Amino acid sequence: MSDTIFSKIINREIEADIVHEDDHCLAFRDVNPQAPLHVLVIPKKPIDKLVNAADSDQALLGHLMLVARRVARDQGYGDAFRLVMNNGEAVGQSVFHLHLHVLGGRAFEWPPG
């Protein structure tokens, strides 16, 4: 996988407003927020998109979901938030480093998009 803006954030080559970090992932505020809460949760392991994750990444992928929950609660959004993961350019993925969008603090439409 080539260098992405997210790998540069992980390597501290680019600054970000980090709200969570552990051995496996990083969570930071989106620079173009689409809701009052808009945090990206990214694995430190370079995975470009979900379809290319290995079966051995199961624990990591679950960890990202639990971190998203923690971030929403820590940021004051309790149990009301939306998780979005785009998989591929055709559905809106613009950075090819797997990431979860944690969104909250406003009403959302259904279906999305």
**Predicted TM-score (pTM) above 0.85:** yes
| Structure-derived torsion over alpha carbons of residues 81, 87, 90, 91, reported in degrees to the nearest 10 | -10
**Catalytic, out of 38, 97, 99, 101:** 99
Question: Per CATH, the architecture of 5-104 is what?
Answer: 2-Layer Sandwich (3.30)
Q: What span, in angstroms and rounded, lies between the C-alpha atoms of 87 and 91?
A: 7
Enumerate the domain spans of the chain.
Answer: 5-104
Separation of CA 53 from chain center: 15
pLDDT digits (tens, 9 = 90+) for 45-82: 999 999 999 999 999 999 999 999 999 999 999 889 99
Q: What span, in angstroms and rounded, lies between the C-alpha atoms of 97 and 104?
A: 22
Residue 97: active-site member: no
